Structure formats: structure tokens, C-alpha cells
Chains A and B, each alone.
Chain A
């Protein structure tokens, strides 16, 4: 009996056909197919009973005797494996896999054959390239020798490539400078610093702060070229250097002498302080490094970073240049124009500009004994001078309560404004905003050079009169030194939004600083 059941199974399995016994319910035959059947037993899943659809015809009827000796018949169905649910599923799976494979292959082939829809480099607008081109191209590259011609042509190609590449790198300047814009009927002038600080994000709001230093003021201030560090010098001798973003104090000393001006040198490791008699240099720990006896009674100083020159103007009308890299006086000229307490530098060409009591402004370079340019700007004494970042515009203000904007390319006056009182201090931001300090008011004018402005962009009232002003580079911040301390004001749109880390990096590490110093010296 056992043999009867098992034998055909073994045999038929080889032919890939399976037979099994479908009993009348209770007793199931013990072939392996029954297991399969169980697995898909429709009773459990509540679907159609087995044999209803799939097994249409019984191949044969088999009779066998029960344990009780009763004769029973069993239908034997032939089941085609290809028609089972499981096989179907398996087939589907295979098909899917094959399809996937095919798709993958097709995709690969497609990728191989695919043509770049945008072949070559991305096009650059002509105007943008033109911005970076330096003069016209060489049209005739024919020189006296073939080799020379070839070289010239090659060089020309390189220069054009340089312009294109420079234009292409503009894509990296993704930051944009923003400005305040007033609604209709409103005025940006009426927006206070507190309003601004309330609206901007936390980090920006922290940039509006005030240092109350009523004892040693008024303060002159200076930021480093990367805008990270702040130097303050109170007239009564208090000199402090801080990392103003983190408010970390680098050093704080009292020089016990009148401080006329303070200036960072090429990096945040050194600064110069113009004191009552001589000028001193300190390091960032506040330790005195040098006493420059050649610079006496200095009132104003300017540091020319690319030349490593410290230009200073003193109360006796003497202008001197000291090379801080070699520690030698490079040039010194007597201007014959009295006390020199108005000074600024042209950031684009390092020309030092002085303002004089006769209403004139003179421009100096260390190689010439006489001023390069002498301009009559005001009817009476000049109170302050400032030159824009690109060196195209100059702002002067005089005792005659006028503020004038000059075009330095033509030396012509562009605008003249009447102000309530002469601006004692002025400063241009990197984006061309002009800040003026008049008494205890700081006013900032937007785009005052290219067009006539009717009203200030922002104003801020301080508790005491302004002593010095400087916009912080790469930040929308204006630093104001006054009699009772220092105020840092938020001026939206003041700073350059994109910084070149190779040029001046606000996030400079110590190592980078060292490297930059060497590079600066080499380039000098």
C-alpha cells in the first residue's frame, strides 16, 4: 500500500508532473504535493476550494480499502505545475526580474549612447566677460619672428581665458547684499536700531551692542581688514583690542598718555597707537613692541596694507611713512599746511589724502615731495574726508556745514549737501554707503555718490558726540567710537556679502594667518 502511493510519485517527479491524492477530507495522502496543497490550502485563506478550477478532470479513479476494510474511491488529479499559483507567482517574479535586468541594460546602453544635451562649457554672458577684460584684445599678433608671434597669440589666448574664467567664477559669489526697503508712506530713516535688532535673526541682533566706557573716552576705533577684530583707543589712554563677534577681549591696557589714534597693522597681532608724544606699537597681548620716536605728536594714522606702510600725520604738519616690515622711515614731508588732523587713504591706490584748514584737500604718495593733487573743496576748513572703496568717489565735509561728493576720475564735484552741522567723521562702507557723524548723530546715506539723496538711509542718536566711525568689513555693521564708549550699529547692506578667503578671511585660523602673513610679505 505504501509502495503504491509513493512509487508513482517518485517516478513522475522526474517528468516534472506531480500526482497526489485528494481524499474525501479527513485523510490526506502522504505525498509531497499534499504539503504544497496544504500550504495553499484554500480553506485557510477562505478562497475557492482546491480542485474546483485548477483540477478540472480527474485522470483516474482509484479504489482502496479503508482501515475498517471499507472500499473507497479516490479521484486522482493530474496537476500541471505550470498552472499552480505558486508557479505563476514565481514566473511573474522571474519576468519582473528579467524586465528589470533588461531595463538596466537598456539604461546603460542609453547612457552610453546618450548625447550631452548641453555640450561643452556653460555659456557666459558677454557683458560679464567684458567686466573682467582688461582693455582690448591684440588683433595683430604678427611679430618679427614666428616664435614670437606664436607666443603672443598664445598669451592672448590665455588672457582671454583668464577673463572668461573670472567671469565664470562669479557663480561662486552667491551671497547678495540686501537693503532696507520702506513701505509706501514710510521711511527707512524712521527705523531705529532697536526695531532692526528686533526683526533680524539672533546672530545679527547680537551685532547691535554698546560698550559703555564713559571714563576714558572719546574713543577712536579701527577694525582689522577681515573685520574680525576691533581696536579702541580712548583719548585718556585706554586701549583695548577685542574679537567683537565673540566679545572676547584680546588685551586691555592704559597707556597713561593721550591717545590720538589707533590702527591695526597688517594683521591682528600688532597695532600702532599714536600717543601724546610718540607712536608706539603693541602686540595683541598689549605688550609694547616698539616706540617710534620718528613719529612724534601724531594725530592721525593710516596703514597701507599692501605696502606695509604706516602713514602718519602730525600736529606740526609733517607727513611720514614708515615701512613696518623693515622698520624704517621711507619718506617724510613737511606739508607746510598746519595741523593735520584730517586724513584718509584711497583704498584702491593707497594715496593718502589730507584735509586742511584752508578748505583744501591734498593727496600724497611717498615718492613725491609735493602733493600729487591739491583740491579746493570747501570755503573753510575741511573737517573730514572719506574715499570710496573703488577709489572713484570722495566725500568731504567742511566747517561750512556742507558735505560734498567728488568724482576722483575727473576731480569734479558731483553733489553738494547742506547738513545741519559739519560732519566731523565720515566713512564709506564696502558697498558704498556713506556714514557721517555729526555731533551725537550718526547718519548713513545710501548711494549718495551716484545719485542725489534727499534723506538719510538710517540715523542713530548716541548719548555723546562721535569721535570716529568705521564700517566693519564683510559685515553689515558700523562701529562708532564716541565719548561714552563704543556702539556697534546694524546697517543692512553695508558690507561686502562675499569674501575672498585668500584675500581676507574673517574665519581665519592661526595657521592661515601665519601663511597669509608670509604671502603678504612676499607679495610686497
Chain B
């Protein structure tokens, strides 16, 4: 990926220069737009921001107990 030293061809967008990926940028834009919605739509949109995932670290070739994370949008 393009590093800060722009030896490559295109001018990188400011978020890429700051080390952010496109997906992060896109998700931030989307959550900002969602936060500016009027009321009934805003609560429907809040459900779209929830993430639910389980992480399990592996040690010595065996999985440890997974931690389940469920993040709802909170700054």
C-alpha cells in the first residue's frame, strides 16, 4: 500500500496518508450520516451499526476460551 513517502504515482487521499484504510473511511462516513438522521429512521439505522463477534486466541495449538464481543454504536 502507498506509504507516506509518495514515490508512487497517484496523490493519496488524506485518510490513506494518515494510515486509514478505505473500509474504515467508508464506515466512518456511513456512521456520521446515520447520526444525522431524523428520529424514526435513526433508531432503525442504529441496528445496522451493531457488530457481534467472538474472538478466540490460540496458544500452543489449542484455542483458549473465546470472548464474545457485541458492540453497539457508542462513540
* A and B co-occur in one complex: no
List chain A positions with a Cβ less than 8 A from chain B: none
List chain B positions with a Cβ less than 8 A from chain A: none
